[in-house]
Chains A and B, each alone.
Chain A
Amino acid sequence: MALAQADVLAGLKEIVEEVAGIPAASVEMDKNFTDDLDVDSLSMVEVVVAAEERFGVKIPDESVTDLVTVADAVNFIVNASK
C-alpha cells in the first residue's frame, strides 16, 4: 500500500532535523535541500539511508541527484512504496 504524502513529509522532517539539525518546521515541500536547508552532499547520503530504513523503500544512488527539493524526495518515496 502506498504511503500517504503527509506521513512521508512528517517522517522526512524528523530525519532532516536529526541528521542536519534543521528545525523540522522549516523542512517544507518547496525547499531545496542544498540551497535552502544547507544539507550538503554527505548529509544527503545520511538522509537517504535513514529514509530507506524508515519507509522500507529503495532509493538508488542514481536517483539521489534528482532529489533536489523536499517535494522531489516525498514524491519519490510515495511512488516507490506503491
Chain B
Amino acid sequence: MTRRRVVVTGLGATTPLGGDVTTTWAGLLAGKSGVRSLTEDWAQTIPVTFAARVAVEPAEQMERVELRRLDRSEQFGMIASREAWKDAGSPEIDRERLGVVVASGIGGVTTLLEQYDILNTKGARLVSPHTVPMLMPNGPAANIGLELKAQAGIHTPVSACASGAEAIGYAFEMIRNNRADIVVTGGVEAACHALPMAAFAAMKALSTRNDDPARASRPYDLNRDGFVLGEGGAILVLEEFEHAKARGATIYCEIAGQGLSSDGYHIAAPDPSGAGVQRAVKFALRDAELTTADIVHLNAHATSTPAGDVAEANALRAALGNDADHVAVSATKSMTGHLLGGAGAIESVFIVKTLQDRMAPPTINIDELDPAVTVDVVRDKPRALPAGDIAALNDSFGFGGHNVVLVFKSL
C-alpha cells in the first residue's frame, strides 16, 4: 500500500504583525517589527518593558460573551482556526475523520494568575467557574475541536517552545496513520504578563533593550542579548492528499516528513555540540525521502539569544554540509518576537507562504552579523527562491531539550 501523503489546505493566524495571514505575511516581507513598549502599569515593575503583542485585539474579532469564557490563548486559537477553516473551504467531512492538535507552551497562565488575585482579594466564592477550562493547556485545542465537532481525537503535545511544531508533526502522523483525513493543527501563546516575563528575565533569557524595542529581537546579530516575548496563534489545516484532490481543495504544499530528538543535556541551555539538532534534521530528511540537496530554505528557531543562535547555526551547518550554501535561512522572530508554543506553528505558516510565493522573508536588525554564524542568512530584504521542486525546513527547540524538524515540499 502506498503511503498516505499529507498536504496543507488552509492557513490562519493572529500575530504581532496582523490579525490574519495576509496582513502578517505582508508585514513580514516588508521587514516590519511587531515589537512595542508595553503600556500596562505592571510593565514598569519588571526588568523588561516591551513585548510583541498581537496587532489586533481579540475583542475586535470575537463576541463579548465568548471572550469572557476563553483564556487569551484560546481566543487566539479560535480566531486563527476560523480563518484557517474558512481558507480550507469549510470542508464537509465525516467528523469521526476530523482531528485537532493544537499546542501551547504555558497554557492559560494569565487566567491562572488573575483568578489567584481574585481568590486573594475577593475570596473563593468569586473564583470563576470557567477557570479550569480556561487555564488547561489543552483548552485551545478542546475549544477548536468543540466548534468543529472533531471526533477523531483532540491532542495537545507540550514541549515548551517546540510545542507548536510538535503539534503539527502529531497532526501529520494522525493523517499518515489513517486516524483522520483532516486535522486542524498549530500553536498559540498568551503569556505577556508580569510573572512569566519576570521569570524569563530571571533566567537572563529576555532582551533588555528597553530603549529600542523594535530593534531588540536581532537573531544572528553580534550584539543580540536575548529573545523578545511574543504572543498570538497560528493554525494550519492538514489534509490527506487524495481527500483534498477529491473535493477540489486549493493545495498549498505537502508536509513530507518530521524528525524528532532530544538533547539529554540541560533543562534550558542548548547542547553546544548540536548533536540532537543534527539527528532531528537527519531523521526528518530520511522520513521525507529527501536529501540535503533538495532543501532551499529554512525558517530557523533563532530566538536572538547569545548561545542558542550559534548552537543552532553550527548544528545546521554540520547537518547540511556544503548544501547549507544553497539554503536561505530566515529568522522571522526578528519581527514577530518569540511566540513560545506558537512559534513552530507561525513559522510553519511562513514556510507555506514562502513556498507559495517562492520568496523567503528577511531577518531584520542585523547590524553586524556574528562571524560565528556560518549559515546563509536572508538579511533585510526578502530573497527569491528557485523555480521547480523545492523543499524547506522548520526547526523548533524547547526548554527540556526537545528538537522538532518539519519538512515542507512544493507540489
Contacts and interface: CB of A to CB of B under 8 A. Distances in A.
Contacts of B63: 21
A46 B133 CA distance: 14
A42 B65 CA distance: 13
A45 B126 CA distance: 10
Nearest to B127: A49
A21 B129 contact: no
Interface string A19-38: 11100000000000000000
A46 B128 CA distance: 7
Contacts of B266: none
Sort chain B's interface into a size bin. Answer: 10 to 19
A52 B125 CA distance: 10
Nearest to B65: A21
B130 interface: yes
B130 A42 contact: yes
Contacts of A46: 128-130
A21 B126 contact: no
A20 B126 contact: no
B64 interface: yes
Contacts of B125: 49, 52
A31 B28 CA distance: 52
Contacts of B126: 49
A20 B129 contact: no
Nearest to A45: B129
A22 to B, nearest CB: 9
B214 to A, nearest CB: 38
Report whether over half of chain B's contact residues are helix, strand or loop; otherwise say mixed: helix
Interface in B270-310: none
Nearest to B63: A21
A52 B123 CA distance: 14
A21 B65 CA distance: 6
A49 B129 CA distance: 10
B130 A21 contact: no
Interface string B43-72: 000000000000000000001111000000
Contacts of B65: 19-21
Contacts of A49: 125-126
Interface string B166-178: 0000000000000
A20 B65 CA distance: 6
A76 to B, nearest CB: 17
A45 B125 CA distance: 10
A42 B129 contact: yes
B53 to A, nearest CB: 26
A21 B64 contact: yes
Contacts of B64: 21
Interface string A42-81: 1101100100100000000000000000000000000000
A19 B65 CA distance: 7
Contacts of A21: 63-66
17 contacts: A19-B65, A20-B65, A21-B63, A21-B64, A21-B65, A21-B66, A42-B129, A42-B130, A42-B133, A43-B129, A45-B129, A46-B128, A46-B129, A46-B130, A49-B125, A49-B126, A52-B125
Interface of A: 19-21, 42-43, 45-46, 49, 52
Given A42-B129, A46-B129, 4 more contacts: A20-B65, A21-B66, A45-B129, A49-B125
Interface of B: 63-66, 125-126, 128-130, 133
* Ranked 8 nearest A-B pairs via Cβ: A21-B65, A45-B129, A42-B129, A42-B130, A46-B129, A49-B125, A49-B126, A20-B65
